[in-house]
Chains A and B, each alone.
Chain A
């Protein structure tokens, strides 16, 4: 800990536009409110540190932070949510698994755990993500292809067979049918001897961005948000270690938005969930500590870093000043980052390794809590094992070789980065103003209105088209696509999925349909539909009953469709 012996005095030209004076209110319990640096120093020293020298490769000792207040861990958290940032704990290096049948993925999970991993991250196939069974007519060709197929509790039990769910953290990327999958996970855990209160993990469950960008919606927005708040209420009461929603800008950006739009739409969705949960009777501090975010890291380095810093600042201010949160953890925006899949090129794909490196570094310098690096071959197909390994190695180079983890918010205080942060916030504010106007003062209503009148999809389509035209016209250079195109050998090996996955999954589903008790299934589905008709009832218990009766995901979805209806987006092109 020799690096802490020589604390630097705050630099004379502190970053401007930092409303440091506001800090006092956020931390009424702090005895050091008169001196942010002393407070930071105390908290920094109290935090545990990784066992590694915090110095340059030439041996120069380093402080935990440089520059002025507000420091990392201090409101409004522009510089990071923890005083010691990566000195205490590196970001989580998260990798997806999920392909083929549940048993195939189970093998992959167990390999990851044997290699020392503690977190599992599960991707589902398209039919599962759309709330449909593997034998749905539109599922043909998509079963087990882009993730694992889950139809009934039996698949979920296969997926986590011989894994103790109370000792791992599981991340599940699913939205429309999140409640169904969560119910399956809970029943699986209980049957294998784990208790609800010990389950830890994250479910994406961010339905609003589906209408805006990813398009994996099932029901209309309002009943869908009710499902989200049902899950928030349920986990708040029974699974205190679970993150019931991961508010995701990633897909908004992938659909073509600008960085500022990603920032603004995502935070607006976050505010909308807060308003919905409060309207459902929860106290903001009861659930806000369990909210987390998921951002994209695109290739414009400084713009991305400004985006992350602005996100933390805006969230802290809104949570405190508008939604009255008092717990500091409610004000701290925690986020996962994934590098931009859309920035990867099919031409000269090896060059993507360089893009991903730059994007990963932006996420780290922007203070992310966890990171997924894309594999270089993802513009061609699902990643091969080798490509996925290179992606992980990229993060490890970042963590252990570059020194990027030594100092918190190393770019804070740069006039450019501070300006970019302010600019991101300013642009986001104009979006919030528009949504408030649309919603008559409510962000939630504004988001509903913006979904219905095509505001979000229109803005995103405009931005995507503008970008594409610039590339087409050669005003924007994409290496290997519209410049420096020589040398594309086209010999990148790609991954093929075995074609028998679908057959195996269908046989399994048919077997369960034959063997289960049909009366039990029908009764549980009937209750689900009845409960759905009463907005005051939390649907989670009914989902859990359906799961126990071996009702399939598609059957539960259909039962709800009868009550909620379905959604088709307005044709905004």
Chain B
């Protein structure tokens, strides 16, 4: 019964995603493009933008009842920042996926996935791909919970 309801929600309600950059990294070209892409494929994007902390992202995710968190990282800090975000959400009992975009060397991708990041999106992904990746990550996380 719960599974059926989740499926209904997936089709009937727009997914909500919190998009943010952590720390001082000011490269926001990518996150702005992704925000528009996701809007165009039907997401509700709660745009936090620059200079966020794991706590402000957690607060937004809770209050906005977000289905996913998207982090954009261009400063080489992905191995520090992304696992911290995953853990912050976990410790608060918020079981939603964290998707990372930006500049991540290929060798780091499996390490991030091991740390609990749901997916890593490289440069050049299309709107449809970005949307589909996040949608699948949300579905997988929900299946886990149920």
Contact = CB atoms under 8 A, between A and B. Distances in A.
A380 B53 CA distance: 24
A381 B76 contact: yes
Given A126-B24, A137-B53, A478-B124, A142 B77 contact: yes
B26 A216 contact: yes
B93 interface: no
A360 interface: no
Interface string B119-143: 0001110110000000000000000
Interface stretch (A53-61, A283-291, A463-471): A463-471
Contact of B105 (A216, A494, A573): A494
Nearest to A378: B103
A497 B29 CA distance: 25
Contacts of B81: 141
A145 interface: yes
Contacts of B124: 345-347, 471, 478, 481-482
Contacts of A569: 49-50
Contacts, number: 95
A24 to B, nearest CB: 45
Given A146-B76, A465-B32, A569-B50, A346 B103 contact: yes
A571 B45 CA distance: 12
A200 interface: no
A139 interface: yes
A138 B51 contact: yes
B32 A142 contact: no
B33 A464 contact: yes
B80 interface: yes
Contacts of B26: 214-216
A142 B33 contact: no
B23 interface: yes
Contact of B36 (A126, A254, A573): A573
A141 B23 contact: yes
A461 B24 contact: no
Given A140-B23, A346-B122, A215 B32 contact: no
Q: Identify the 3 closest CB pairs spanning chains A and B, nearest first.
A: A141-B80, A215-B26, A126-B24
16 contacts: A127-B24, A137-B53, A142-B75, A146-B75, A215-B26, A215-B28, A216-B24, A256-B33, A461-B36, A469-B127, A478-B124, A497-B76, A569-B49, A571-B47, A573-B36, A573-B49
